[in-house]
Structure 1
């Protein structure tokens, strides 16, 4: 039997060994650093913040591409407000600075998905687009749900560049992008089997975690319609408790919190949209992500807000850019500032509360 680590919380014990029940891409990317400076000298917080900052740059580049193709009507300088919202006015802020393994996986998922979106705008090969999606799956399997977005972008770009889009071309692009994704999925299944002798066991059922979450996984499975009412309440109804005399006047629920309260600027998503390929693809990615999340056995606790929104944060930011029209109104800027203040408070509470 291997020597137990000093803290086994969120670890899985199997066949005499302790495992991190998570896809391996974070550890793989840290291997060169471990070789160069030694594993004990790696700051996972610095590692995470590097990719968190990279995500903001990628979102800026994506929004610039939208301006270049005239898919959005905002002036180029106005998209900085959306980048600020993305980086500092959502759970991306505290997830990015924490450095905990689970959260680093989420930040990397955003990185790879943003790279896949940017690659689609640049008309890069579907093999490359699929490669980035595959990497996102290797960080967090939910990354697969964003494939409709990159597919729709690629199709509309091809169409605007003068190519004829027919079923043959759609199938060819889909097939080529699917191969790297399939390799990532099969590798992940093999990884599960190598550790737990079961292709479909990620280690979450036997994890040393929150007793209620673990028992739910054992009783109802990792995904079930049983979780839908609770997950919807957490996403859209949970509010902080008010403690005016305490160290934290607003005490958030660690299970999660209303996404519109955490990021009030998201209310601007509520509007009518054109039925263009890429807009439908963005909404498809959002829909598939949330359809999966509302059936998941864990809301992401402990957290501030609802951290799983990061799975769909890139298409949501793009859709916000569409919703704002030709000019960012002053009241949206106020909502951005309010979102940033709320998430700065939340990051402080999460790190120090």
Structure 2
């Protein structure tokens, strides 16, 4: 299906669209990019910097580990949210480009409403100190990556 993106002059000649804009051949690459790609290591300070072309959602937002926590009273709501996440993730993974110049897997932002439903449903009534630290670290790492992108020359295209 063409939604107009293929009509941009030269876009289908870009190397990441070698199988078209959408193809199952892109799933392994996007799987790795979204779930496993770490920051790159450099020999001097700050030693770790974002790659600029994606990166693991777990590194960008460590609070997401709380998605796999058991709990919650409305099991059907959680299951429905997980189905939505899995279907949307499949659609994201068949796209040829994991997102371009960015910190993290930016297309995953469409998963956030469903992620928040799960987090709200399986969270305890009182937030723990470890959770607070995970949220603070998530905010810090995003702020730090933004600084590295826009305030330094460490991350370059």
Q: Name which of 207, 222, 225 aligns with 2:24.
A: 225
- Flag the 1:320–1:207 CA change in 2: closer, same or farther, 3 A: farther
User: How far has the Cα of 1:304 moved from its partner?
Assistant: 0.4
**Structural RMSD (CA):** 2.4
Per-residue CA deviations over 1:77-122 (Å, capped at 9, x if unaligned) read: xxxxxxxxxxxxxxxxxxxxxxxxxxxxxxxxxxxxxxxxxxxxxx
| Partner of residue 62, structure 2 | 264
Q: SS of the residue aligned with 2:54?
A: coil
Q: Name which of 36, 40, 51 aligns with 1:253.
A: 51
Per-residue CA deviations over 1:154-187 (Å, capped at 9, x if unaligned) read: xxxxxxxxxxxxxxxxxxxxxxxxxxxxxxxxxx
CA distance in 2 between partners of 1:324 and 1:200 (Å): 41
User: How far has the Cα of 1:327 moved from its partner?
Assistant: 1.5
- Flag the 1:253–1:209 CA change in 2: closer, same or farther, 3 A: farther
Per-residue CA deviations over 1:275-299 (Å, capped at 9, x if unaligned) read: 6333222222211110111111110
Q: Name which of 35, 45, 61 aligns with 1:236.
A: 35
CA distance in 1 between partners of 2:21 and 2:12 (Å): 14
Q: Name which of 96, 115, 120 aligns with 1:297.
A: 96
8 Å CA contact 2:6, 2:12 repeated in 1:
no
Q: Could you tell me the TM-score, scaled by structure 2's length?
A: 0.83
Per-residue CA deviations over 1:133-155 (Å, capped at 9, x if unaligned) read: xxxxxxxxxxxxxxxxxxxxxxx
| Partner of residue 320, structure 1 | 119
- Flag the 1:216–1:244 CA change in 2: closer, same or farther, 3 A: closer
User: How far has the Cα of 1:318 moved from its partner?
Assistant: 2.1
Q: Could you tell me the TM-score, scaled by structure 1's length?
A: 0.39
CA distance in 2 between partners of 1:352 and 1:207 (Å): 33
- Output aligned runs, 1:1-353, within 5 Å: 200-204=2-6, 206-207=8-9, 214-217=14-17, 219-243=18-42, 245-246=44-45, 248-272=46-70, 276-353=75-152
CA distance in 2 between partners of 1:316 and 1:234 (Å): 19
CA distance in 2 between partners of 1:351 and 1:208 (Å): 28
| Partner of residue 99, structure 1 | none
Deviates more, 1:299-308 or 1:315-324: 315-324
- Flag the 1:208–1:349 CA change in 2: closer, same or farther, 3 A: farther
Unpaired stretches in structure 1, ≥5 consecutive residues:
1-198
**Count of residues in Structure 1 that have an aligned counterpart in Structure 2:** 151
| Partner of residue 155, structure 2 | none
Per-residue CA deviations over 1:191-217 (Å, capped at 9, x if unaligned) read: xxxxxxxx8251346455696xx2342
The structure with the larger Rg is 1
CA distance in 2 between partners of 1:204 and 1:244 (Å): 40
Q: Which has the higher contact order (CA 8 A, sep 6+)?
A: 2
